[in-house]
Each structure stands twice: as C-alpha cells, then as structure tokens.
Amino acid sequence: MEDLSTNERNFILLAIKESKQRLDGRGLYDYRRLSVQFHNKRGSCEVALGDTLVYACVNAFIDKPYADRPHEGFFTFTVNFLPMAHPNFEQILGSTLSNKNRRIRNEISQEIERLLEKTLKRANALNVESLCIYSGKYAWNIQVHLHILSHNGNLLDACTIAALLSLSHTRIPETKILPSGDLQFLPKYKPLSLHFLPICITFGFLSDGIIILDPLIKEESVLEGRLMISMNIYGDILTLQKTGAACVGASLLMECIEVARLKVKDITKSIRTALEAAKDIEPEQFEINAERADRLVEDLISN
Amino acid sequence: MTEEILFYGFRQDGRRPGELRQIKIKLGVVDNSSGSALFQIGHTSVLAFIHGPKQTKHEKESGHIHCYFNTAYFSSSGERRKFSKGDKKSNEFEANVRTMFESVVLMENNPHSDIDIHVLVLADDGSVECAAINAITLSLIHAGVPLKDFLVSCSSGFYSGMPLIDLTYSESTSFQVISEYRVAVLGKSLQIAYLNYDDIGGHKLTPEVVREITAMAIEGCKQVHFIMKQELQNACSN
Amino acid sequence: MEIEIERNLVMPGDVVPCPTGSMPGYGTYQNEVGEIVSNVMGYPAMYNRLVCVNSLRGCYIGETGNVVIGRISQVGNKRWKVDIGASQEAALQLSSIDLPTGEHRIRSEEDQLHMREYFNHNDLLSAEVQSKSQEGKAINLQTRSSKFGKLKNGMLVVVSPNLVARMRQHFCQLNNEVDIIFGRNGWIWVYYNNTNELEVPLIRRQQIVRISCLLKLMNKALVMISPEKIQQVFERTSDIELEDLLAESTLERIKDIDAVE
C-alpha cells in the first residue's frame, strides 16, 4: 500500500540481511506487542498488534434457517477497511467507492474475509450446526464485524485474533421452546462453543530466502511473497496459502510450519490471559427484537 | 449417497492413488487472441486466452497482468450450481493469478504493456484451478510472451493414510477426503510458486500429512510438465 | 553470420546448448548459475557469439528501417499514436511526416491545428520505423516519402509477424494486377492503385478478396509470405471458387509449400 523510495527499500533489505534487524529493532521472527481492550458490551473488543488497530464486535440475533439447510445457523464476517486506517486509502479504492455504499470494501478486506471464513467457519472452529435451536424455525445468526482502524502491517493476523477474542467473549442467552412453538429467552447466558482457537501466522519472503514474521506496512511493500498458515494450539493446520512472486522449496515450507507451531503457542497464551482478565463484564440484557433483526438484514442487503 | 473413495486400492475412476488423469492439450483455439490453449485433464476442461502484450491505458504506466475468471453455466457436473461470476472464489483466484504469473512472466521485457488473461471453465470435474493455471501457462507460451519457466500445477488430497493426486469433483467434495491441496511449481526448479489449501470438511492437517501431500503434488506437477512439453513438441513439429 | 543450432525446439526454462562465452540475445536470459535459458518457444540461432531464440509466435518487435502498417489510435500533442500490433503503441511525430505542399520547414502552431487533416482517428497508414527509444522500447515512425501515407481502396489482412520476412520491395504488384504492401508487423494491405477511376471495378475487388483469403490461409498454414509464394498458392488454388476458398480442403493443398514450423 505504501510507495517506498529506493533508499528506504535498500535500507530495509540491507538491515535485515546484514544485522538481522528490522525497522523497529525486532528480530526476524519476533511479533509485536499484542494489547487487547474489551469494551463494556460483551463481544466487542479492540486489538492492537503494535500500531495496527482492529475493532471487532459480534452481533447475534435469532433468524430462520434456510429451507435447504434447516439444521444450520449463520456465521458471517464483515471486514470494513475504514478511510482512517491509512492515508493512501483513496488510491486503493479510487472510483469504486460511492457515497451510498456505507460498507468499505476493497481487495484487502475481501481477502481477510475469505481467510476468516476458511479458518473459522470451514474448519469448524464454531460449528454452524451448534447454532441451530429448533430445526427449520429458529437458529442463531452470528455476525462478526471487524473495523480496521489503523493499518501498520499484518492485518490478517490482527483481524483473526480480534475475531477470535470477540467470539470467545460473546455470551448468548439460553433459549427454551415453549409448547406453543415460540422462543423464550432464559436469564442465563452461555458462551459460544468454540472448539479451538485458530491463529493465523503470516510469513513474509524476501529475496535470498530470508523469512520475516509479522511484517510492518513498509516491509510489506518490499516482500516478494507471503505464506499464511493457520494453526491451533494442538498443532493442526487449518489453512495454508502461499501467494506472491517468490518461489520456495518444499523444505522451507516445513520449516515455516515448525516456526508457526511455536508462535501459535505464545499467541494463544496471551489470548487466554486477556480473556481471563475480562471475565467480569456483565452481558447486556438481550432483547428479541424481530424488527431490529429484519432491518439489519435489509440494511446489509441494500448496501 | 456413500461412495467408496478407495476400493481395494483403486479409486472411483479406476486410477491408482498416484496416477494422473489423461491430459489433452490444444493450442490456438481462439483465433482473435494473441495466444490461447485448451487444457483437458480427465473431464475437467478449461480454456484460457491472452490479449497482449498491449499498451497500458495510460502511457508510461507500468504494465500489469489482469485476470478474468469465468465459469460456464453448463460446466458443473451432476448438481445444478449457482452462477458464480463475481463471487469470492473467482476473485481470490484472479488476485492469486496476478501475483503468481508476475513471478514467471518477464515484465522487464515489455515494461509498459498490459497482459489480459481470460479463463473460461468449460467443464468442472475437480482440480479446476490447477487446470486453469496450466491452461494459462500454455496460452502464454503460445502467444510468445517471454517466460522464465513453465508454471505447472496439480492438486492432491489425503484419504485414510494415503495421499491422492489429481482429485475429481466427487473426491474433492467428499467429506472423507482431505482436499484440495493445490500447488503450482516452476517447471525446472520445482520450487513452489503458489500453494492453496481449500478444505470443505473441516479437516485438520498435521505437518507429516502436509509433507506427504506436498511431495505428491510436486510429483504430479513434474508429470504434467513432461506431458505439456511433449504435446507442445508434437503440436509444433506439424 | 547466422548459424542455426540444430533444429530442435526449445521451451521456456530450457537451457540453450551453446559454447561457453556466448552472450544472451533476444528470447533468452541468463539465470543465476550463468546458463543461457530460453524465454520463449522457438528455434535457437547463433549470431557470432550472440545466442537468440526465434519465437514461433509473438507480437511485433520493431527494427529500424522496417516498413509497417498501422492504425491511428490517438491524435495528440504534436504527434499521433499508432497501433501497429506491438507491445506498445508507436509514435508518429508531426515533424516526421511530409507536408502535402512538399515544403521543408519547422512545424508551426497552425500545423498542429491541421493535424486531423493529415491523419485522423482510425486511419490506416504505411510508415517506416525511424527509431526505437531505448527505455520502454517505444517505436517512432516516419512517413518521409511519397510512397508512405494514408491507405485507401483496399483490404487489411493481419497475419503473424514471423511470416513476413525482409524483402527487397515491400510495395509490389502481383501478377493479376493487385497491389500489395507487406508490413513487417504482419499487417498486409491489398489494394487497387488506380486513382483515376471513381469506383473500384468489380473484377478488381474480387481479385483483392481472393488474395486476402489466400493470405489468411497462408497464415493458418504457417507459410512464409512473399510475392513468389503468393503466386504459387494462387496457381494451386485457381480452380476453387471464391466462396469456397476458406475451407479446410484448401488448407491441405497449400500446407506443403515450404511450410515453416
């Protein structure tokens, strides 16, 4: 996204090659500081990976399942790349942004949405069948909204962590089906059934086979290729994607998987400590408001 | 409908786990384009054609590769599928093709020229993206665009301890098979240029499995490369 | 001096067999190990110590002195942009054309306003490649001769540039009195040269169409295009009706005329 001058480019590459140091003094495989802040509303949190800031919130409401899939609930992601995230925003969207369209979608946000779908939905971290309350009639519709407030590199990892934190933080009320067939909310709340925490690790490839983790936005402009590995703490690989011009050997791929395994352990630990600290927030009163749900759906369709 | 994936060591279409389907290549199918190729592997059939290198829209702008991916209405096998043009899968493929081919196409030779790649899936029987990548490579060679090397692609999967190569549609949509693991490599050096693991059944890979299926996919790419070179030799010596 | 290195086809990524100390020319590049590797699919050739690969197909790569045919795509600031089927549009400077009055003078502001009277958008013209700028490889054209200029009264046939070799005369007249201009970029103009008559007579038009069809067939069969070859093809197919000319059966007849692989 950033246009680097030749001097900056050469400086970054030289610093990495000769003194194994990055722009902000980190080592090649170091992650930036991860700081999490939960808000009063359950399911909303702000994640900062260094200077990259992402705000995530979960919207859960009752919906009717599709006719051909009566046992499944809904689980969708929306990533909004806000104009405040980066000064070069206009360059990226250019003429495709219209005033009427409130959703800020561009290639970056679409790529993140695809990846979140792959790691969280398709890999069954949250089973959509567990969201169904009454087959054919009532199911939970979980929408995760991510807003990118500041882009300083490695959006994928930050967004995955934010989505995970907000999903683990959400509480949905327990439900009961009355004899008349209507839905009743009980005053007890339960968390979503996340089977595991998939963490996405992004590797950047530079020339001469050098690999860096968690690239800054300036480093991203110098990268020749990217490898995204999504793993959980048990060592299972959920997604693997390599894009970009650089070509790697199969052995390098296996090394990256090993590095990712170690990193996932660290990040999962930080996520778990953050969740522990935020246990005491009261979930808000949940109201079933059918009109609100319809309006939301209409809003999303018309945009 | 339960189908046996492996029946006494043979797959549904009678192949062994490490066998590719039959490959047929035809060059020059679209007359108006700079270069075109039809790549058929088994029942999967993908057409790719190139316009370019041609002048960029604005002078002195550096040239790019654009990809337009289309699936024909009649391409799906068995079930009727929804028309997918602007959907996420095609967009993802288009974005990936651009970065992938910028690694093999020597853009320095034509710095201010664009290359437009159009891909049309005529029949989908699994491993469509891999067939598309192979078809694009062939059409670039047919158009005379300078390339560093071939870019060949093959898909692989894993079923009950056995890696499978070149998956069909029923194998890649089956929940029992870990699929599709797509790899694109450079022809000579066998270095991985593109890797995408797209899973449906919520399977989890272990590093050992990754090692096996990557090796299997690269083997498959070697075979595809050999067959492509043979076919090109035959086509040109006529 | 050109020596061909065994008639074996090389593909992108193949190492071109050549003696040590050779330099990579067009169609090849040097990889990290120092070997000379081919870029395109074609036959390698050696010019002294320069190793090149002649691509079988490709867009036109300009050379100074070539006669080309192009179509005006833009009328710009003191120059026209011409589409010649290369990887970039060629530029025809206002100072590179002959003024209709034949004067030799510096072009003034007045001339800029009259540019559209010389060449307008979508006009076809024949020109000569004046130079190639080193950076960006843009081609500059010139029409400084009475034989170059706007084209009229004819039909354009586009063939592969590799089939049009260098000839002594690019402007010829074939045996049946059809005039033809061979552009090295593969664009060939078949036309009727007599400007006295108001309308091109029917028999001339049929001859023009016949030659155009033969050129399209020769393109498909990959036969080198030159006046002698056209004559041969014409004789072989003189018995076929004009409507049936572009058929598979006719293609068979001409395939063996010195076919170029």
Residue C3: what pLDDT? 62
Among C215, C223, C188, which residue's Cα sits nearest to residue C84? C188
More reliable by pLDDT, A189 or A94 = A189
ipTM of the complex: 0.85
Instruction: Spell out the residues 6+ positions from residue C11 whose beta carbon is closer than 8 angstroms to its own.
Output: B141, B150, B229, B232, C38, C41
As a whole number of angstroms, the distance between CA A61 and CA A128 comes to 14
Residue B53, preceding bond cis, omega within 30 degrees? yes
Residue reference for tokens 């979140």: A116
Q: Show the domains of chain A with their CATH numbers.
A: 33-90+103-295 (3.30.230.70)
Q: Which of residues 3-22 of A touch B (CB under 8 A)?
A: none
Asked whether the beta carbons of residue A240 and residue B91 sit closer than 8 angstroms, the reply is no
Q: CA of C200, closest CA in chain B: separation in Å?
A: 29
Would you say A139 and A62 are in contact if contact means Cβ atoms under 8 Å apart? yes
Residue A287 has pLDDT above 80, yes or no: no
| Phi-psi region at A91: left, alpha or beta (left = phi > 0; alpha = psi -120 to 50) | alpha
Question: What's the alpha-carbon Rg for chain B, to the nearest Å?
Answer: 18
**Is residue B4 one of the residues assigned to a domain?**
no
Which residue, among A243, A254, A261, would best test binding to B if mutated, counting the most B CBs under 10 Å from its CB? A243
Q: Token digits for C36?
A: 């000379």
Look up residue B144 and give its DSSP letter: T
Q: Is residue B93 part of a domain?
A: yes
The mean pLDDT value for C11-38 works out to: 87
Mean pLDDT computed over B1-9: 71
Strands C2-4 and A237-244: unpaired
For the segment B151-169, the average pLDDT, to the nearest whole number, is 91
**pLDDT over threshold 50, residue C128:** yes
pLDDT at B57 > cutoff 90: no
Q: Is residue B10 part of a domain?
A: no
The β-bridge relationship of strands A138-150 and A171-177 is unpaired
What pLDDT, in 10s, does the model give residues B27-50? Answer: 989 888 889 999 999 999 999 999
Name which of B147, B148, B236 is nearest C9 (Cβ-Cβ): B236
Instruction: Find, among B229, B224, B174, the residue nearest to B202 by Cα.
Output: B174
Greatest Cα-to-Cα distance within chain B, rounded to the nearest angstrom: 62
Contacts of A235 in chain B (CB under 8 A): 206-207
- pLDDT tops 80 at residue B101: yes
Q: For strands C28-30 and B178-186, give the pairing.
A: unpaired
To the nearest whole Å, the CA of C102 is away from the closest chain B CA by: 32
What would the two tokens of residue B14 be?
Answer: 């009678």
Q: Using one digit for the tens of pLDDT, what is the confidence trace for C210-225?
A: 999 999 988 888 888 9
Separation of alpha carbons B103 and B193, rounded Å: 8
- Return d(Cα C79, Cα C91) in angstroms, integer: 7
Q: pLDDT band for position A103 (50/70/90)?
A: very low
pLDDT digits (tens, 9 = 90+) for C228-250: 889 888 888 888 888 888 888 88
Q: Residue C155: which residues within 8 A CB-CB, separation 6 or more?
A: C189, C190, C191, C208, C209, C212
CA distance C90 to chain B (A): 10
Evaluate whether residue B8 is within a structural domain: no
- Between A179 and A294, the higher pLDDT residue: A179
Nearest Cβ partner for A236 among B181, B185, B204: B204
Q: Spell out the residues 6+ positions from residue A298 whose beta carbon is closer than 8 angstroms to its own.
A: none
Of A285-299, B45-59, B184-198, C15-29, where does mean pLDDT reach its minimum? A285-299
- Of B80 and A254, more confident: A254
* CB contact residues (below 8 A), chain A span 200-259, against chain B: 225, 227, 232, 234-250, 253-254, 257-258
- The answer to which of A105-114, C39-48, C227-236 has the lowest mean pLDDT is A105-114
Query: Considering only CB atoms, which chain C residues are within 8 Å of B138?
Result: none
pLDDT at residue C185 in the model: 93
Cβ density class A28-61: b for 16+ within 10 Å, e for less: eeebbebebebeeebbbbbbbbbebbbbbbbbbb
Q: Which chain C residues have a beta carbon less than 8 Å from that of B27?
A: none
> Mean of the pLDDT values across residues C177-203?
88
Residue B1 has pLDDT above 60, yes or no: no
Residue C127 has pLDDT above 90, yes or no: yes
Q: Among the listed ranges A267-271, B206-210, C172-176, which one has the minimum average pLDDT value?
A: C172-176
Instruction: Give Rg (Cα) of chain C.
Output: 21
How far B112 CA lies from chain C's nearest CA (Å)? 7
Q: Residues A145-161: pLDDT tens digits?
A: 999 999 998 999 999 99
SS (H, E, C) A87-143: CCHHHHHHHHCCCCCCCCCCHHHHHHHHHHHHHHHHCCCECHHHHEEECCCEEEEEE
Domains of chain C: 2-55 (2.40.50.100), 67-151 (2.40.50.140), 171-254 (no CATH)
**Given a cut of 90, is residue A118 above it in pLDDT?**
no
Taking any CB pair shorter than 8 Å as contact, residues of chain B touching chain A are 88, 91-92, 95-96, 99-100, 102-103, 181, 185-186, 189-200, 202, 204-207, 210-211, 214-215, 218
The pLDDT of residue B84 is 59
The whole-angstrom separation of Cα C13 and Cα C19 is 18
Residue B211 CB burial class (10 angstroms; 0-12, 13-18, ≥19): middle
Is residue C70 within 8 Å of C125, Cβ to Cβ?
yes
Contact flag B145-C40 (C-beta cutoff 8 Å): yes
Stretch A117-135: mean pLDDT, rounded? Answer: 86
C83 interfacial to chain B (CB closer than 8 Å): yes
To the nearest whole angstrom, how far is the Cα of B26 from the nearest Cα of chain C? 15
Enumerate residues 6+ apart whose C-beta is below 8 A from B15.
Answer: B21
In the three-class reduction of DSSP (H, G, I as helix; E, B as strand; rest coil), residue C54 is classed as strand
The pLDDT-based confidence of A289 (bands split at 50, 70, 90) is very low
Is the predicted pLDDT of residue A92 greater than 80, yes or no? Answer: no
Contact (CB<8Å) C40/B146 = yes
A95 pLDDT band, cuts 50/70/90, is very low
The mean of the pLDDT values for chain C is 86
Helix boundaries (H) for chain C = 109-113, 115-118, 202-220, 227-236, 248-254
Amino acid at A241: Q
In contact, B22 and B29? CB cutoff 8 Å? no
Contacts of C55 in chain B (CB under 8 A): 144
- Which chain B residues touch A258 with a CB distance below 8 Å? 207
Compute the nearest-CA separation of C225 from chain B (Å).
18
Cβ contacts of B206 on chain A, cutoff 8 Å: 235-237
> What value does the mean pLDDT of chain B take?
87
Outline where B1-87 has alpha helix (H). none
Give percent above pLDDT 90 in chain A: 31
In whole angstroms, give the CA distance from residue A184 to residue B132: 52
DSSP state of B98: H
Q: A-chain residues within 8 Å CB-CB of B199?
A: 118, 122-123, 238-239
If you average pLDDT over residues B74-94, what whole number do you get?
Answer: 73
**DSSP SS3 for C121:** coil
Mean pLDDT of B107-132: 90
pLDDT, position A107: 74
- Determine C/A contact with 3+ CB pairs under 8 A as the test: no
Residues facing residue B117 across a β-bridge: B50, B67
pLDDT over threshold 80, residue A138: yes
Percent of chain B with pLDDT strictly greater than 70: 94
Do at least 3 CB pairs under 8 Å connect A with B?
yes
Q: Would residue B147 count as lying in a domain?
A: yes
Residue A291 has pLDDT above 60, yes or no: no
Tell me whether residue B214 is in a domain. yes
pTM of the predicted model, to two decimals?
0.88
Residue C113: count of CB within 10 angstroms of its CB: 9
Those of residues 122-151 in A touching chain B at CB distance below 8 A are: 122-124
User: Residue B89 sits in a domain of what CATH number?
Assistant: 3.30.230.70
| C59 has a chain B CB within 8 A of its CB | yes
Q: Is C13 on the interface with B (CB under 8 A)?
A: yes
Domain that holds residue B65: 23-236
Q: Which of A107, A238, A257 sits opposite B95 (nearest CB)?
A: A107
pLDDT in tens, A20-52: 888 888 888 989 989 998 888 888 899 999 999
The total of structural domains in chain B comes to: 1
What is the C-alpha separation between C189 and C179, in angstroms, rounded?
8
In a domain? residue B183? yes
CB nearest to B195's CB, from A110, A240, A258: A240
CA distance B31 to chain A (A): 31
State the CB neighbour count (10 A cutoff) for residue A143.
17
Query: Residue B12: inside a domain, yes or no?
Result: no
Q: Do residue A235 and residue B207 have CB atoms under 8 angstroms apart?
A: yes
- Residue labelled with tokens 């003094």: A25
C226–chain B nearest CA distance, Å: 21
Hey, are the CB atoms on A113 and B189 less than 8 Å from each other? no
CA distance C64 to chain B (A): 18
Question: Cα(A130)–Cα(A278) distance, rounded to whole angstroms?
Answer: 25
Cβ separation C12–B229 shorter than 8 A: no
C11 and B CB contact within 8 Å:
yes
Give the residue on B whose Cα is nearest the Cα of C91: B59
Average pLDDT score over chain A = 84
Q: Is the pLDDT of residue B86 over 70?
A: no
Per CB-CB distance under 8 Å, the chain B contacts of C89 are 55
Q: Is the pLDDT of residue B77 over 90?
A: no
Three-state DSSP state, A81: strand
Please give the residue that has the higher pLDDT: either A168 or B202: A168
